[in-house]
Amino acid sequence: MIRQVSVIGAGTMGNGIAHVFAQAGFEVSLIDLQQAQLDKALLNITKNLDRQLSKGSITEETRTAALANISLSTVMNPISHSQLVIEAATENL
């Protein structure tokens, strides 16, 4: 059973994928080489969850749980614990 997901790349696609999995109850490791990109991704996910909350699409509990399900990393170590790895990195590495 899949519980832990790693998403490599915290750009537009990566943070969207991480958001959906985290909101669905999966533990998500969002991985990127740049800490600034990870910070931007988490801010974007938070804004999107806040928008969903303000529209009544989700509850505060769902928002809190989704954010708690996301961990950020600049190294690949979390991949070893994941049952699913999704590559969403740019081709320009």
What would the pLDDT profile of 2-54 be if each residue is shown by its tens digit? 999 999 999 999 999 999 999 999 999 999 999 999 999 999 999 999 999 99
What would the pLDDT profile of 41-88 be if each residue is shown by its tens digit? 999 999 999 999 999 999 999 999 999 999 999 999 989 999 999 999
CA 6 to chain centre: 8
The arrangement of strands across the sheet holding 70-73 comes to 70-73, 27-31, 4-8, 84-87
- Residue 16's pLDDT is 98
- Residue 91's pLDDT is 74
CA 13 – CA 63 distance, rounded (Å): 20
pTM equals 0.93
5: β partners: 28, 84
